């Protein structure tokens, strides 16, 4: 389920009554001619009230266009049993099976705890939708995905005391709930395995145009040299790198892949270009699903990534935070996931090694 974006042209926080309903419990009480507590009882059913009074309250709710069950629960002082996943528009970015696994994990994680979830897509790092989401008041909490450094959405949700969890990490100067991969441990594990196999020149298969700073730091510590193998995360993108690999990267004997689809394209097309895996080059995937790794020929060695279970845990933390209440002093939860090294057919001792 996708929620359409509104008020895109307005500045952050500038939302008119035409965009969303801003009725309050006091508004409904005034229109119905009852007390605010009576409105709560009518909507929640916690105490018996007359049918006539209940009908007046419901008529006021209808007139003020406060028709959502989730909104009604919020008016009644209840708990909106909805979680919003705020992420970049999945249709505008290169495909990744990991994105689907993360969404599935969150959906199932919150469902196990009796909640439901929706995706709220953001385009071009637009954070103006956060105030709209807060005004709608149908969501009990927010899971932020695709965060940026010092993400303004994190600051806003924290300032508004809204329960949230970050799937990833960002430096904002205060503690918050998050679930992420421990990339330092993941990269160290992969590069150490290459070093143990005698590889000293490592290619980095990545969609970025510069080398990952953390990878560079770890490689320098292990006295390994890195070369960037830039491509889009598609089967054709990986095949294009394989086509010119021997010519463009003759010294590289190992590849650490940060992409899931492109590395499968690289491996599956390698024999077409006279490239033997692992005799000519060994490969370790650090950011792919295990079902992808075993689908290629040869199968790819990985630092196992169970994106689904990680995201499901994120969903559990989100519900825990909502149920604890906005003013809870509960310590923030942080989880870092690594994964074990899974050796398969794509890794071997470096050519020329012993």
Question: What's the whole-number mean pLDDT along residues 236-244?
Answer: 97
Question: For the chain, what are the domain ranges?
Answer: 25-74, 82-174+308-337, 183-304
Identify the CATH homologous superfamily for domain 82-174+308-337.
Response regulator (3.40.50.2300)
Split at pLDDT 50, 70, 90, the class of 262 is very high
> 């143990």: which residue's tokens?
196
Asked if the model's pLDDT at residue 140 lies above 80, the reply is yes
Q: Quick one: what percent of the chain has pLDDT higher than 90?
A: 58
Q: pLDDT category, 64, cuts 50, 70, 90?
A: confident
Q: Do domains 82-174+308-337 and 183-304 have the same CATH topology?
A: yes
Question: Which of the pair, 82 or 343, is modelled with greater confidence?
Answer: 343
Average pLDDT over residues 115-126: 76
pTM of the model: 0.76
pLDDT at 267 over 80: yes
The pLDDT score that the predictor gives to residue 185 is 97
Q: Measuring CA to CA, which residue among 176, 138, 131 is closest to residue 158? A: 176
Q: Minimal CA–CA distance to 22: which of 77, 66, 72?
A: 66
Region 25-74: CATH code: 1.10.260
Class of domain 183-304: alpha beta
Q: Determine which of 192-196, 274-278, 312-316, 319-323 has the lowest per-residue pLDDT on average.
A: 319-323
**Which is higher by pLDDT, 45 or 285?**
285
Q: What is the mean pLDDT of residues 90-118?
A: 85
- Cα–Cα dist 214/185, whole Å: 10
Confidence of residue 351 (pLDDT cuts 50, 70, 90): confident
Using N-to-C axis directions, what is the helix angle for 97-112 and 307-324, rounded to 10°? 40
352: alpha, beta or left? (left if phi > 0; alpha if psi -120 to 50): left
Residue 206 has pLDDT above 90, yes or no: yes
Contacts of 186 by beta carbon, 8 Å cutoff, 6+ apart: 286, 303, 338, 339
């Amino acid at each position: 389920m996708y929620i359409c974006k509104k008020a895109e042209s307005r500045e952050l926080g500038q939302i008119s009554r035409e965009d969303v309903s801003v009725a309050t419990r006091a508004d409904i009480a005034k229109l119905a001619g009852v007390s605010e507590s009576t409105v709560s009882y009518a909507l929640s059913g916690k105490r018996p009230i007359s049918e006539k009074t209940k009908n007046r309250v419901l008529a006021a709710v209808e007139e003020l266009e406060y028709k959502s069950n989730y909104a009604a629960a919020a008016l009644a002082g209840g708990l909106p049993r909805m979680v919003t996943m705020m992420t970049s528009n999945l249709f505008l970015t290169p495909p990744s099976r990991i994105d689907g696994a993360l969404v599935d994990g969150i959906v199932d994680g919150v469902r196990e705890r009796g909640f439901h979830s929706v995706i709220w897509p953001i385009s071009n790092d637009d954070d103006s939708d956060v105030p709209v989401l807060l005004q709608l008041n149908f969501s009990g909490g927010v899971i932020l995905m695709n965060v940026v450094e010092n993400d303004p959405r994190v600051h806003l949700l924290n300032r508004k005391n809204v329960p949230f969890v970050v799937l990833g990490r960002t430096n904002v100067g205060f503690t918050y709930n998050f679930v992420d991969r421990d990339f330092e441990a993941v990269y160290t594990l992969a590069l150490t395995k290459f070093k143990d196999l005698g590889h000293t020149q490592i290619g980095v298969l990545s969609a970025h145009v510069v080398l990952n700073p953390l990878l560079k730091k770890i490689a320098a510590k292990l006295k390994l040299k890195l070369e960037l193998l830039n491509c889009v995360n598609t089967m054709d993108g990986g095949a294009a790198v394989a086509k010119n690999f021997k010519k463009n990267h003759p010294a590289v004997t190992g590849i650490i892949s940060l992409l899931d689809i492109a590395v499968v394209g690289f491996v599956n097309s390698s024999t077409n270009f006279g490239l033997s895996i692992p005799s000519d080059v060994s490969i370790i995937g650090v950011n792919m699903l295990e079902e992808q790794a075993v689908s290629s020929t040869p199968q790819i060695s990985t630092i196992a990534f169970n994106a689904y279970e990680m995201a499901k845990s994120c969903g559990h933390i989100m519900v825990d935070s909502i149920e604890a209440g906005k003013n809870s002093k509960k310590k923030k939860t942080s989880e870092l996931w690594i994964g074990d090294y899974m050796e398969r057919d794509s890794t071997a001792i470096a050519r020329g090694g012993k």
